[in-house]
Structure 1
Amino acid sequence: MNNKIANYLRGKKENISALYTWGFDETVPQKKFGVVADGTNWLEKTISLKRGLREYLSNNPEAQVDVAHYFITEWGGIKRFSKSKETVEDFSKWQGSQTRPADFKPKYASVSSWSKWLSLMYPSWACIYDSRVAYSINAINYLDGGEQKIFPVPEGRNTRLNIMDISTLLLKQKLKKGGGSNPKDIKKAHFINERDAYLDYLDLMVTVSKELWGDETHIHEVEMLLFALADTVIYEDVLAKACE
């Protein structure tokens, strides 16, 4: 699967600064934490924001809950999330880790929220897993024939992606080749287990980073490319294939 994703992204990675357009109110982190998001585009500003928040936290560790709440609800757009304190506590045992801990196996529930905090706190090994990123991974699988298992897709608010349900399209591809109709059997045969999804995703990001950049340090660029392409280029490619 990693080769398929790398091949799809290869011709687009040099244009990542133009493709990534997730914006945010730059005055908010400055007012709350004194963090200025510098840059000439949203990619640079996002990288600057994350770096600034990490520096702020290194000097103000008691502000973790406030920063987590901002990063998940305001920057991340998950307005109704109310478990910032629990999220900080749940993942505090691994503070300072530069590699993924051997005992790290989080629950899938609320992955779009807590993975944002992880990506901020543990940037050397953790990435954001949300509906757009999962959609893109599954879409590339679909475009390539659907040989790989389906990643679970967290609930999202993107109208385009909700209309063109990629999991259903992938499942249709797979069921054409035969198999029973029992929902439990279908899920076991064709979907990645939710408890394994985030770890499998992190492995995938590392492998694609190696394929595209020759190292493991560009996992966030891979994530941001997948995010940026989900409801634009990838959506259009999926729509075109579905209409064949």
Structure 2
Amino acid sequence: MQKIISVLKELSVQHDVKNYNWQIPESCPLAIPDHITSNFDRNIYLKENLHTMLKQGDCMSIYYWMIQEWGGIASFKRNDINDAKILKFIKELDKKSLTKISFERISSFSKVASFMKPAEYVIYDSRVIYALNWLLFNYAPAIELFPQPQGRNSELVKYDMQTILRLSGKQHAYRSHKKAYQKYCELMKGLSVEVYGQDSQPYLLEMLLFDIAPQHIVKDIENRVSLKIDLELKT
């Protein structure tokens, strides 16, 4: 574990998390003070304060804003079936075990969880899991890997992580969908404290991994991985 902590600390110095550039849509239901101008600070304010609105208004509308508008997953349409899926997921969080149906939508639902309780839950994003799995595989092989949701980033699509890991010949195991999200949040909380300090929140590490996945992690894969094919021509 100490090795991956050391690597993450180096990465946090090389890639300042304050450069996190995720833009907040103008439709944001929370009024963000005008003096908060950087995308990083605006997202931190949103993380720390949006949950207060869940006690006041239409929670379901805010849940869909988190998924569709802030998260950019417009395909997750509001209807009675999806309403029920969100509420079911929230109940499963308390039970600390997810059904397969809930985990299949973890990229969407974890956004809701992370805004509800930012100190407890972290977004389970395809880019973040891609980066985390690569670092775990190389620097903390005793830790089970996490199932990666389907992603949309073109750089990550070039190198399928599961294929790379299978071709490595090294043994590795993936966590069950039942406990993967819970264990992921626990790991991210612990690592974030090690990297950013005792009072840090786990979303800081999530932001770092999200940012480094398409460039740093992909470049590291390109530098480390090679496939040699020996062709024997018979005449």
TM-score by length of 2: 0.81
Q: What is the aligned residue count?
A: 218
Aligned to 2:97: 105
Counterpart mapping for 1:51-66 below 5 A: 51-60=48-57, 63-66=58-61
Q: Which residue of 2 aligns with 1:152?
A: 147
- 1:117-158 Cα deviation digits (max 9, x unpaired): 000112221111111111011111344485543321001111
SS for the counterpart of 2:45 is helix
Partner of 1:97: none
Please name the residue that 1:183 is paired with. none
Code of the aligned partner of 2:115: L
Letter in 2 for 1:239: E
Q: What's the counterpart of residue 50 of structure 1?
A: 47
Residue number in structure 1 paired with 2:194: 211
Residues 143, 238 of structure 1: 8 Å contact kept: no
- Which shows bigger deviation, 63-72 or 83-92? 83-92
Give the distance between the partners of 2:91 and 2:24, measured in 1 at CA: 30
CA distance in 1, matches of 2:153, 2:33: 26
Unaligned residue ranges in structure 2 (runs of 5+): 228-235
Change (3 A) 1:91 1:194: closer
Q: What residue is the counterpart of 2:204 in the other structure?
A: 221
Alignment of 1:1-244 (within 5 A): 2-14=1-13, 15-18=16-19, 20-25=20-25, 27-29=26-28, 33-36=29-32, 39-60=36-57, 63-82=58-77, 85-93=83-91, 101=94, 103-107=95-99, 108-144=103-139, 148-173=143-168, 175=169, 190-215=173-198, 217-243=200-226
Whether the 8 Å contact between 2:30 and 2:50 is mirrored in structure 1 is no
**In structure 2, the residue corresponding to 1:28 is in which secondary structure?**
coil
Kept in 2: contact 1:37–1:48 (CA 8 A)? no
Percent identity of the aligned residues? 29
Which amino acid counterpart does residue 112 of structure 1 have in structure 2? Answer: S
Deviation by residue 1:179-234 (Cα, 9 ceiling, x = unmatched): xxxxxxxxxx6222222211221121122023223436421111111111111211
The 2-side partners of 1:154 and 1:40 are apart by 32
Instruction: Check the 8 A contact 1:119/1:128 in 2, yes or no.
Output: yes
In structure 1, distance between residues paired with 2:121 and 2:10:
25
- Structure 1 residues 5 and 35: alpha-carbon distance in aligned structure 2, compared to 1, 3 A threshold: farther
Task: Identify if the C-alpha distance between structure 1 residues 66 and 5 changes in structure 2 by more than 3 Å, giving closer, same or farther.
Answer: farther
Moved more, 141-150 or 214-223: 141-150
- Check the 8 A contact 1:171/1:190 in 2, yes or no: no
Normalising by the residue count of structure 1, what TM-score does the alignment of the two structures yield? 0.78
Deviation at 1:115, TM superposition (A): 0.5
Is the CA contact (8 Å cut-off) linking 1:112 and 1:154 kept in structure 2?
yes
Instruction: Indicate if the aligned counterparts of 2:4 and 2:139 stay in contact, CA closer than 8 A.
Output: no
